[in-house]
Amino acid sequence: MLRNLQTSHGFNNNDTNDDDGGDGDGETAGNGKNMLARKLSTKGDTLYLERRVGLFSGVALIVGTMIGSGIFVSPTGLLIRTGSIGLSFVIWAACGAMSLLGALAYAELGTMNPSSGAEYAYLMDAFGPMPAFLFSWISTLILKPSQVAIICLSFAKYAVEAFVDECGSSDFVVKIVAVLSILIITYINCYSVNLATGVQNAFTAAKLVAVFVVVAGGVYKIIQGRTEHFRNYFENTTTSMGDVATAFYSGLWAYDGWNNLNYVTEEIKNPSKNIPKAIYISIPLVTMCYLLVNVAYLTIMSPDEIVRNEAVAVTFGIRALGSIAWVIPLSITISTFGSANGTLFAAGRLCFAASREGHLMHVLSYIHIKKLTPMPSIIFHSIITIVMVASGTINSLIDFFSFTAWIFYGSAMLALLVMRYTRPDVPRPYKVPIIIPLTIFVISLYLVVAPIIDKPQVEYLYSVMFMIAGMIFYVPFVRLGYKFRIIDRWTVIIQLLLQVAPTKLVLPE
């Protein structure tokens, strides 16, 4: 039987780990080389997540999860809500700037608290267990699975359309393909961290090539003089604050993934340097790609055509690329598959971190004794995602996701501001000007409040109700520690079935 190892619950940077340094646990060799990687646990060892995500893989994780289906889908919704190409470009650029500033603030949080889990760990440090639990509750059961479900449904839609005639494909077939894609990325992420990051790196490179093809096509059309759609930039611009806020939702959905590196902090090599570097490289790159792709679209289609077209990128390919138009659907399937892979990679780490703290079933914080992957949490996320794919649609999930996500993004900014005063002496290898988290916090308030005031939707009510339900579950199952007896039996069964065991948090030196 697998031996039960003592689980560590500390998330603060002031945990000393005095009994874990030097040669005692093999964390570092005498030359300072990281020795966390091990093929299996032996007597006296403690399991850790290995630090195998370098700078290139970190950039690939951010770029690969940000560039998914959004740039191929969001231009339509964003243009509908803004009313003009001028404001739409302003919002595309503003979303990129917001993502960069938010990611830099997260870099300070991630280097100050180098445990995985992102917002979960930061809310725990700043406000205590209940806000952290609410985030893990909503993110694990709703946010992250819905995000993966949206991406996989987009992947399946484009993948299936490549093999059907003009009549289109049935929703049933699309959902079957989406489920199969979830199973594939689940296997990849359970089998090996190196395999998951390798897939992410390869698919990120492929999608950047695809973006280059679209941009090159747009440049060629501009050289031919196709600039008639770039006139009257701000004609018909909306004056509704709610429309502007929901337009930001469409744009920010395309940029979502800017904080994914913070979910895997425990697996990043030299996080205090590589997290900021990866952010400075990846987010400006994505922003430039998005702006240039939108310019390319407008060389082929008028704003009215974009508004009426659900597959903007495919139409662009047919008109601009001719006989090689098939490159666009193929590029979208590659892009969405890579994005789904990176999102599940990060989502599994959130569930892992929350479970280690006791806010979810402890078995979800276990890792495979040989592969050192958080297999139970990844499988758990995948099961919920499959349920969402079977019961939901893309449009029904995006607004709920964006509204709820920005509640917690704003909470993370507030956590940073609070800890500047409550924990001023905690080491901060990377520190941002305080105006950055303050600005993102104010913007997040606007993004949450404006849509409710201007155009309330039932999705916003669902979000609030789910938070209230989380508070109800928190008291008996977390605060009072009640658990069903069958949980222990299930834990043993899962340990034996998956060959997993508890872990211990290791902070970087």
Length of the chain as a residue count: 509
Question: In the structure, what pLDDT confidence band is assigned to residue 34 with cuts at 50, 70 and 90?
Answer: very low
379-403, pLDDT tens digit by residue? 998 998 898 888 766 655 666 677 7
Q: Tell me phi and psi for residue 268, to 5 degrees.
A: -95, 130
Provide the mean pLDDT of the chain. Answer: 78
76-98 per-position pLDDT tens digit? 777 888 888 888 899 999 999 99
pLDDT of residue 48: 58
Count how many Cα atoms sit within 13 Å of the Cα of residue 92 in the half-sphere of its side chain: 24
More confident residue, 409 or 231: 409
| Secondary structure E strands in 71-221 | none
Say which residues have a Cβ less than 8 Å from residue 472's Cβ, sequence separation at least 6: none
Reported confidence tier of residue 36, pLDDT bands at 50, 70, 90: very low
Percent of the chain with pLDDT over 70: 83
Q: What is the mean pLDDT of residues 41-65?
A: 69
pLDDT value at position 28? 37
> What pLDDT score was predicted for residue 479?
79
At residue 131 the predicted structure's pLDDT band, cuts being 50, 70 and 90, is confident
Q: What is the pLDDT of residues 266-320, one digit of tens each?
A: 778 888 888 888 999 999 999 998 899 888 888 888 888 887 776 677 778 788 7
CA–CA distance, 314 with 159 (Å, rounded to integer): 12
What is the pTM for the complete model shown? 0.74
Round to whole Å and give the CA distance between 278 and 25: 30
pLDDT band at 505 (very low <50, low <70, confident <90, very high): low
Q: What pLDDT score was predicted for residue 105?
A: 92
CA 496 to chain centre: 31
Most confident of 45-54, 63-72, 118-127, 203-212: 118-127
Question: How many whole angstroms separate alpha carbon 151 and alpha carbon 141?
Answer: 16
HEC sequence for 336-348:
HHHHHHHHHHHHH
> Can you tell me the distance from the alpha carbon of 345 to that of 264, in angstroms, rounded to the nearest whole number?
8
Given a cut of 60, is residue 232 above it in pLDDT?
yes
pLDDT of residue 14: 37
CB 447 within 8 A of CB 250: no
- Please name the amino acid found at residue 298: L
Query: Which of 172-176, 255-259, 311-315 has the lowest average pLDDT?
Result: 311-315
Residue range 361-390: average pLDDT?
86
User: What per-residue confidence (pLDDT) applies to 46?
Assistant: 52
What is the identity of the amino acid at 178? Answer: A
- What average pLDDT does the segment 312-340 reach? 79
User: Each residue of 202-230: pLDDT tens digit?
Assistant: 888 887 887 888 888 888 888 888 877 77
CB atoms within 10 A of CB 166: 4
| Residue 500 backbone dihedrals phi, psi, to 5 degrees | -120, 160
**Statement: residue 13 has pLDDT above 50:** no
Of 44-48, 102-106, 143-147, 354-358, the poorest mean pLDDT is in: 44-48
d(CA 383, CA 379): 6
Mean pLDDT of 352-373: 81
